[in-house]
Amino acid sequence: MPTVVVNGVSLEGKLGERLIDVARRNGAHVGFVCNGAGICQTCQCQVLSGSASLSPVNVFEQAWLSENRLNEGHRLACKTSIRGEGTIEIRTKAEDLRRQVLAVVNPPADSNPVAQLGPLVQYITRMVGDEVLRFPLNAVNAFRHVNPSDLTAVFRDVNRYLSDVSRVTKTTLNNTPARPHLTTSPQVIQIEAPK
């Protein structure tokens, strides 16, 4: 059975399952605002290892993620499924950002809030450049591929959506580290190019 390590926690996955489903089922800290329709980017994650066991980059990921992000192993968890056995390790953008903020609010013992502010500002600046400024064009490209029924899926199963939101929120709040670990610099991983 494949193992998916999400933000440092080992979880069981199944062949064919999407990364977002493994994370949601276990209350891991991942965003899923659009419920997997491929239009919100909140499920973005970085694959740290095991990329060979994942589906190739698809049209939604090509639309939303810059070439640099793709080269660093960033994926949309709702558009990436498990294709092989072994261990896959990912870090979600939601948790990455949370840890950056926590590091400023409650810095590691050998640091201080001002020193932690630099990495956070750098992180947000990159996010603005890669995501906010490119949003209009990326959205046009992504919406061309959206399945209309995916847009309304959340209304067909509101209970599951809300219960997943509640579980992810509870788990995340319970896992707030006293002294957050700063993220390491991004690893560069080559992802198989789309056919």
- Residues making contact with ligand FES (CB under 6 A): 32-34, 36, 38-43, 76, 78
Q: Are strands 87-92 and 9-12 parallel, antiparallel or unpaired?
A: unpaired
**In angstroms, what is the minimal distance from the CB of 56 to ligand FES?**
17
Q: Which residue is nearest to ligand FES (CB)?
A: 78
Q: Which is nearer to ligand FES, 19 or 120 (CB)?
A: 19
Q: Which is nearer to ligand FES, 75 or 99 (CB)?
A: 75
**In angstroms, what is the minimal distance from the CB of 143 to ligand FES?**
12
Q: Which is nearer to ligand FES, 15 or 33 (CB)?
A: 33
Sequence-ordered alpha helix ranges (H) in 66-157: 67-71, 93-105, 113-127, 135-143, 148-156
**In angstroms, what is the minimal distance from the CB of 68 to ligand FES?**
19
Q: Which is nearer to ligand FES, 61 or 72 (CB)?
A: 61
**In angstroms, what is the minimal distance from the CB of 153 to ligand FES?**
11
Instruction: Output 6-12 pairs: Cβ under 8 A, ≥24 positions apart.
Output: 6/30, 6/45, 6/90, 6/91, 6/92, 7/90, 7/91, 7/92, 7/95
**In angstroms, what is the minimal distance from the CB of 24 to ligand FES?**
10
Other Cβ atoms within 10 Å of 36 Cβ, number: 21
Q: Which is nearer to ligand FES, 75 or 98 (CB)?
A: 75
97-124 as b/e: b if 16+ CB within 10 A: bbbbebbbeebeeeeeeeebeeebeebe
Which amino acid is it at 2?
P
